[in-house]
Amino acid sequence: MPIMPDISTHGWWLDWSLLIISMVTLLVGILSFALIILALIYFRQSKNPTPTRHLSGWITRLIILDISMIIFDIIIAVFSTWGWAETILKSEESLEAKHGEALTVNVTGRQFFWAFDYAGGDKAFGTADDFTLGNDLVVEKDRLVVLNMTSGDTIHSFFVPHLRVKYDVIPGRTTRVWFVPKKAGEYPVLCTELCGLGHYKMLSNVRVLEPDDFDSWLDSRTVTLSENPGPLRSGGPGQSQTVHVSDSKDGSLGARADRNVGVTPRSQ
Ligand SMILES: [Cu+2]
């Protein structure tokens, strides 16, 4: 049914919610247009030469119509709120209780790239083994991923169609999305907020690795490269940082990230 393949665990109900909302909206649209056409024919001037203000026979029918519209609205509101509550309102604790330990990644949107901060092997942010990837989000298959997102400049929007996540990334605020990827592979990350002249090239990717591959990938992220934390980092100056910016295949996106944030790329 969905046009874009879904590799998330939660995407099925999002797809169904959208389908049901679309079908209900279509039905209401067809019904509304049919009623307008019916009224134009039934109350045409040639049949009703004298206009009337009295709709005595129509009041019941209008009430039934109003009630059915309210029921349609309630259906749409229930499905929309359900989707919103499932994705946004759940606390990290309740997500971890359901899906197991989360991989937490701090995301920063900037003109015009994405930076992904990892806590490293010790799973704690603000320590020496933290590292940052430019335009490359690496996650583990079948493991809960929680993204805490903010922006370094203007409003961006983080969108991964295959994972059914899309949320605004706002300066001065932290927004959160979560997902559990169930298929290994590489999938595009897009910015869906017009964030400036380079918005069109704000492309990134998410790599979903098998658990073993993810563990060995994480173990390999241990090269300390820069004394300068750069504007992406939250640590103080002089603190030793592990910063890997270029993991993209051709290095072009990473190279742009380096130029913008002034950190040293890690050659692969
Ligand atoms: Cu953007």
Residue 193 and residue 200: Cα distance in Å, rounded?
10
Span from the CA of 260 to the centroid of ligand 1 (angstroms):
14
Q: Based on C-alpha coordinates, what's the Rg of the chain?
A: 25
Span from the CA of 178 to the centroid of ligand 1 (angstroms):
19
The model's confidence at residue 2, banded by pLDDT at 50, 70 and 90, is: low
pLDDT of 136 above 60: yes
Q: Which two tokens stand for residue 25?
A: 């909206």
Phi, psi of 33 (to 5 degrees): -65, -35
Span from the CA of 196 to the centroid of ligand 1 (angstroms):
7
Q: Region 45-62: what's the mean pLDDT?
A: 81
The superfamily (CATH) of domain 93-261 is Cupredoxins -  blue copper proteins (2.60.40.420)
Q: What is the DSSP letter of 121?
A: T
User: Is the distance from CB of 196 to CB of 154 less than 8 angstroms?
Assistant: yes
Span from the CA of 155 to the centroid of ligand 1 (angstroms):
7
SS3 sequence, 174-196? Answer: CEEEEECECCCEEEEEEECCCCC
In this structure, of 79-88, 146-155, 167-176, 251-260, the range with the lowest mean pLDDT score is 251-260
Tens of pLDDT, residue by residue over 198-223, are 999 899 999 999 999 999 998 887 65
Span from the CA of 114 to the centroid of ligand 1 (angstroms):
8
Span from the CA of 262 to the centroid of ligand 1 (angstroms):
19
pLDDT of 177 above 50: yes
Q: Region 141-160: what's the mean pLDDT?
A: 95
pLDDT at 243: 42
pLDDT of 189 above 70: yes
Most confident of 89-98, 127-136, 204-213, 232-241: 204-213
Span from the CA of 129 to the centroid of ligand 1 (angstroms):
28
Give the global pTM: 0.72
Share of the chain above pLDDT 70, in %: 82
pLDDT at 248: 40
pLDDT of 237 above 90: no
pLDDT of 225 above 50: no
pLDDT at 205: 93
Secondary structure (3-state) at 187: strand
- Show Cβ contacts of residue 49 under 8 Å, excluding neighbours closer than 6 positions: none
